Amino acid sequence: KLFFIIFFTLLFSSQIYASQAWKSMILPGWGENSLGYKDKGRLFLLSEYVMWSSFIFADGQYNSYRSDYRGYGTEYANVNWNGKNDLFAARVGNYQSLYLYNLHTLQDHILADYKDQNGVDDRDPSHEYYWDWGDHREKRLKYDGWRNKSKNYDKTKGFIIAGIIINRIISIVDVLILERKNILTSEVTYDYDHTA
């Protein structure tokens, strides 16, 4: 949250638009490059490229594993994914069947989570919650492995997005510092030449 506050504070700062920093908001390194700091510009640009490449890779892996575990669950446990969320997907991976899941909820007195044995939700009969892996524990574990990988890649995408935002913030601040440094250097040079 702090990063978003800093980012939007910088975004709406009038100082940004009066400088080259707005360029770094669009593409980190562009502002540095405009000021003549080519090496710094390339470093920020390379970081941006690596992070976006990582995001695209993580998103592809997330979708691939998600598609795999859902197809596998449908084939081997008769899962209907219509209207289901990640919590339901976790239950399918953690319990061998709806029957065993219901048994667990009754033991823990979580009656709100109890489902009809046929898997029909009384609140919405179109959503069937039935699943049963039968005696195939290894299939359930394989499914759950894919589900966990999908979940981890989804989390990774969030971290990468945070990195992309941080890279922009650092580049913007760097451009503002470099411009300030250039102004001070110009003022010192002018004073030196003027007094000479």
Give the mean pLDDT of 174-182. Answer: 83
Sign of CA dihedral 76, 77, 82, 83: negative
Q: What is the pLDDT of residues 60-92, one digit of tens each?
A: 999 999 999 999 999 999 999 998 999 999 999
Tell me the three state secondary structure of residue 28.
coil
Determine the pLDDT at residue 125.
Answer: 44
Cα–Cα nearest to 73, from 57, 95, 58: 95
Q: For residue 106, name the pLDDT band (cuts at 50, 70, 90).
A: confident
Q: For residue 146, which of 76, 70, 60, 80 has the smallest C-alpha distance?
A: 70
Q: Which tens digits make up the pLDDT trace of 124-148?
A: 444 588 899 999 999 999 999 999 9
